[in-house]
Amino acid sequence: MKEFDLIGRYFSEGGHQRKDVVVGIGDDCAITTIAENQQLAVTTDTLVGGVHFLMDAPAKSVAYKAVAVNLSDLAAMGAEPSWISLSLSLPEVDEVWLQEFVSGLYELTQYYSVQLIGGDTVRGPLSMTITAQGFVPPGAALQRAHAKPGDWLYVTGTLGDAGAGLDILQDKLEASGEERDYLIKRHLYPTPRVAAGTALRRTANACIDVSDGLLADLSHILRASGCGACVHVDRLPISRALYQVVDAKAAYNYALTAGDDYELIFTVSEEQRGNLETSLTSTNVKATCIGQITGHNGQLDLKLHNTPYKKPEKNGYEHTF
Amino acid sequence: MKEFDLIGRYFSEGGHQRKDVVVGIGDDCAITTIAENQQLAVTTDTLVGGVHFLMDAPAKSVAYKAVAVNLSDLAAMGAEPSWISLSLSLPEVDEVWLQEFVSGLYELTQYYSVQLIGGDTVRGPLSMTITAQGFVPPGAALQRAHAKPGDWLYVTGTLGDAGAGLDILQDKLEASGEERDYLIKRHLYPTPRVAAGTALRRTANACIDVSDGLLADLSHILRASGCGACVHVDRLPISRALYQVVDAKAAYNYALTAGDDYELIFTVSEEQRGNLETSLTSTNVKATCIGQITGHNGQLDLKLHNTPYKKPEKNGYEHTF
């Protein structure tokens, strides 16, 4: 199968151009070069309309999110993004929708100096698969399996905003004014923590991004590392907007279980803790210590003001399988 | 989004393992290394059930085809395949189907020494997107745009078999016995011309694979190269099986317009023509000269015994957009 004219018409012009792309869109393959002494990071994520985004979501937001979730996976490995390939399935050709989609896509790729190097378009239900690639120096990738008992547990930014934004859009939660706009924006236009991810390469041991919810994603680190964790619910970073819209307990719930925030959860050894602030200074990203890794394999303890806190019943976004 | 357990359960064990994969399935990204003095070739193709394969096609064939069409794109650039990422959309979890799918996938990846390095599974209509990667020495990639007037036009293997196989499966064409089996197999289990593609790096100027049909795919070369071509219909390589099932005119029609053969169309200069046989000897792949590239921009002339031959009305597979 070759790329349809669609790709040619809407995607081949414009967009960030990189010097390491020898052949871009329009041949059987893209051809790229890799700098010496770099390893390649590769990730693939699919978004399905009605599952991963609302069917009536703005096209710009859909493109933005499709790129962001992939760059977020690169960030979680400490990789610097370089290229993406896009496979787009559309029920029909809606030119206005496509133009907005392309503008959302290029806005993000331009900002992160990423080039669209190829793809495919097919007729089908609204969905898209992006494969994103990036570079990381040998041995520097932040792996899930590298958390160690005693490591301090951190998270970037604030948690729960995107989940609250989704609930607002679905009329499950009431909000107005600035708070409403802020929370919806956090859902529609997530920020991949690319600069923080690369900055953490030398400081963090393990890292993952929050796509399914803090508890769900942290449990991936714990399982891969054979560790446990203690999380202090009262230390969770929660935005002023979320606190304006719900009470503290509901805010904790969003922060623990809602997905799509695309913040980074990472662990830092006691020795590296002093370097953390320096590492993140240039990125303008705030990180908050929310607990510690323990030796209790697979056990995740929650505490509120140092007393046990009951885990919410819903562990994270219930995905399809 | 993270890979669902599905990927873990069915895909993480088994399959070919490569030394250049540092981190495989199970983290936010795969991490790989690239040999010095190699460029990276990247291609993405999506197959949708009911569009690119029959909904009742055997699961093994679906996997086989999804991998083959991507390896075929690498072959058409002269690249040696290394890794694939798979995004699989399934309406439901059918364990028997999945096991057969995995066996088809691993049969082909094992044969071509390709490793599955990651992916995603989502609930949705039956479809899959594969991103395949491979290596090519700097400057050696076979590009569509490099055909020159005077180049000889070649094609590997035989043409039209897969299209006839599809028609047999859809009861549009009658066949029995060995011929029926052979043609259906050519449709269900296409062979990507990987060895031929790499062997042609130094001999061929331009190359493309036949996914949409000879005329449609050749026209991509002509457009990209600003050339024309003359194709001798009576020289088209047609299998004994196809000739047994249809008359000569219908066979020409299949060979000119039916897609999914995944043979390579390539052009060779007069000077390199002598080296062609040597290049392909070790690959066991036969190439047939079917015509010549001309200077008449975009003009595609067909001839039968040196007299003009009318172009079939259908130029190639009518894809969706």
Q: What is the pLDDT of residues B152-169, one digit of tens each?
A: 999 999 999 999 999 999
* Mean pLDDT over the full length of chain A: 93
**Helix ranges restricted to H, chain B:** 5-6, 59-76, 95-111, 161-169, 177-188, 194-199, 214-225, 240-245, 248-257, 273-281
> Are A41 and B30 inside 8 Å of each other by CB?
yes
Q: Which residues of B touch A22 (CB under 8 A)?
A: 39, 141
B317 CB within 8 Å of a chain A CB = no
ipTM: 0.93
* Strand duo B287-294 + A115-123: pairing: unpaired
**Helix ranges restricted to H, A23-120:** 59-76, 95-111
B140 CB within 8 Å of a chain A CB = no
Instruction: Kindly state the DSSP code that residue A53 receives in the 8-state scheme.
Output: B
- Measured torsion, CA atoms of residues B56, B58, B63, B64, in degrees rounded to the nearest 10: -120
B133 CB within 8 Å of a chain A CB = yes
> Are A46 and B120 inside 8 Å of each other by CB?
yes
The contacts of residue A121 (CB under 8 Å, 6+ apart) are A3, A4, A6, A7, A87, A88, A89, A90, B321
Select the residue from B20, B34, B44 to test the A interface by mutation, using most A Cβ atoms within 10 A.
B44
Q: What is the pLDDT of residue A7?
A: 56
Which of A6-20, A213-227, B301-315 is modeled with the greatest confidence? Answer: A213-227
Residues B60, B61, B64: CA angle, nearest 5 degrees? 90
What distance in Å separates the CA atoms of residue B29 and residue A135, rounded to the nearest whole number? 11
A27 CB within 8 Å of a chain B CB = yes
> Are A123 and B46 inside 8 Å of each other by CB?
no
Q: What is the pLDDT of residue B3?
A: 42
> Are B118 and A4 inside 8 Å of each other by CB?
no
Structure tokens at B289: 């000269």
Q: What is the pLDDT of residue B316?
A: 58
Select the more confidently predicted residue: A292 or B319: A292
- Per-residue pLDDT of A85-99, as tens digits, reads 999 999 888 889 999
Let me know: does A146 contact A84? Beta carbons within 8 Å: no
Assessment of whether the complete model's pTM goes beyond 0.90: yes
- Per-residue pLDDT of A10-39, as tens digits, reads 776 668 999 999 999 989 999 999 988 999
Which of B62, B86, B75, B64 has the alpha carbon at shortest distance from B7? B86
B223 CB within 8 Å of a chain A CB = no
Residues A94, A100, A104: CA angle, nearest 5 degrees? 140
Let me know: does B255 contact B214? Beta carbons within 8 Å: yes
**What are the C-alpha distances in Å from B69 to residues A4, A264, B73, B74?**
15, 36, 6, 9
Is A5 a residue whose pLDDT tops 70? no
B33 CB within 8 Å of a chain A CB = yes
